[in-house]
Amino acid sequence: MRTTSTALIAAAAAAALILTGCSTDSASTSGATTSAAQSQAQFNDADIAFLNGMYPHHAQAVEMADMVAGRTDTAKVVALAAAIEAAQQPEMDRMTDWLQQWGQPVPASDMSDMSDMSNMSDMSGMGHGSMDHGDGMMSADRMAALTALSGTEFDRQWLTMMIEHHEGAVEMANTELADGENPDAKQMAADIVTAQQREIADMQAALG
């Protein structure tokens, strides 16, 4: 009988440990989910304006990166274009997800009329106005002129335009860091500043 009792006590203790572990894991998972939900629920007008402005900005950068194929074989330009597309397309996808979670309209992905920014929403809510959609955006005429170039002429014009484009993105991201509230959007802004300032230095070096 003593042996049976000891076995029963051991089994009960083991069951209690298993239940406690499950309870702890469940609470931990629930806490992480709640934290993520709270993070996404925390946003303001500056965050919305940042995503609405940066999305078409990124879309144009990706379009410019796509122009490189067939127009130049310069290794530095080809590598920069690949890096820009690899970084910015996933960021566009994340922006779309966040806006949908916040119940906001998703910006158009069609770049055909992105150069006419007059039909975009007024972004004056960004405070000191540096979130103007025109920051660093290329006009349709400049984009068309770029497509007509090749070789060294293309390289110099592409680098010049992309530097200007990146400078606009850095300005927009700095505004989000100053005025935004959502931690994920602000982290993206910080990443944009770091990555694009580095690429600006690389492009300036390539121009000589």
Mean pLDDT for 136-160 is: 97
The mean of the pLDDT values for the chain is 81
pTM equals 0.72
The pLDDT tens digits for 86-141 are: 999 999 999 999 999 999 999 876 554 444 443 333 333 333 333 334 579 999 99
Q: Mutual orientation of helices 151-179 and 75-101 as an angle, nearest 10°?
A: 30
Q: Is there a contact between 130 and 176 (Cβ–Cβ < 8 Å)?
A: no
- Angstrom distance (rounded) from CA 188 to CA 42: 15
- At residue 41, the pLDDT reads 75
The pLDDT tens digits for 56-84 are: 999 999 999 999 999 999 999 999 999 99
Q: Is there a contact between 156 and 207 (Cβ–Cβ < 8 Å)?
A: yes
Mean pLDDT for 132-159 is: 91
| Secondary structure class of 85 (helix, strand, coil) | helix
Q: How confident is the model at residue 54 (pLDDT cuts 50, 70, 90)?
A: very high
Write out the two tokens for 4.
């049976």
- At residue 37, the pLDDT reads 57
Judged by average pLDDT, the poorest of 13-17, 96-100, 163-167 is 13-17
- At residue 166, the pLDDT reads 97
CATH 1.20.120.80 fits 42-207, yes or no: no
